[in-house]
Amino acid sequence: MEGGPETDLRRFLDGEGSDVGSKFAGMAQLQLPVFLEGVTHLSGDLGVSCRDGRVSYFYGTLPVFTHAAKDLKSFRMFTSQLYLEGKVKQSTLVKVFGVSAISIKRAVKLYEQAGAGGFWRPRPTRGPSVLTPEVLRQAQEQLDGGRSLQEVAAALGVKYDTLSKAARDGRLRETLKKSPPRPSLVRSGLT
């Protein structure tokens, strides 16, 4: 049995024949970067395809991630992961998906800071309104009593700009202070 095909394989597996092409000229390459038809290349071994409203990412022919075409959170999370792992360049993501470079940078920053879960956290919102109905009532009472916006803001612990905006919007009415009468020129005898 010596010299048969088994012997050639054993020598190859033992490390004697390191050049597969020279020993086995008819043998096909073991792994090719083969992509399905219609897949857009992101790198030498990664591709993306969009069919029937689903975006699928492929490593060769193996699908590795899928999301709905309108699911921006999943898109940002997965492309950030690909970028951070060094699998895809930012410029490729911009070119293939038609997104801005800054949107990629923001998504990558979010992924670095909060991980994948950061994409699904609720966005921070403003706190409750400072001018509650009760505060507006108190402010209006003080304005009706002849106090200025600045005085009312200080008394209620509210920013002057907040009260000023409420007055411009019509939520508060400023009462005009009666100014002391100006002496007329006629009565003063200067005419």
Q: Note the pLDDT of residue 185.
A: 59
Confidence class of residue 6 from pLDDT cuts 50, 70 and 90? very low
Identify whether residues 58 and 104 lie together within a single domain.
yes
What pTM was estimated for this model as a whole?
A: 0.53
What does the pLDDT read at residue 60?
81
H helix intervals, the chain: 5-13, 20-23, 72-84, 90-97, 101-114, 133-144, 149-156, 160-169, 185-188
Is 151 part of a structural domain of the chain? yes
Instruction: Judge whether 115 lies within some domain.
Output: yes
Are 46 and 114 in the same domain?
yes
Give how many domains the chain has, as a whole number.
Answer: 2
Average pLDDT of span 71-100 = 96
Domain that residue 141 falls in? 133-169
Based on the fold, state whether residues 48 and 113 are members of the same structural domain. Answer: yes
Higher pLDDT, 102 or 191: 102
137 found inside a domain:
yes
Q: Residue 56: helix, strand or coil by DSSP?
A: strand
- Clarify whether residues 46 and 110 are in a common domain: yes
Mean pLDDT within 93-120: 95
> Is 80 exceeded by the pLDDT of residue 35?
no
Give the pLDDT of residue 99: 94
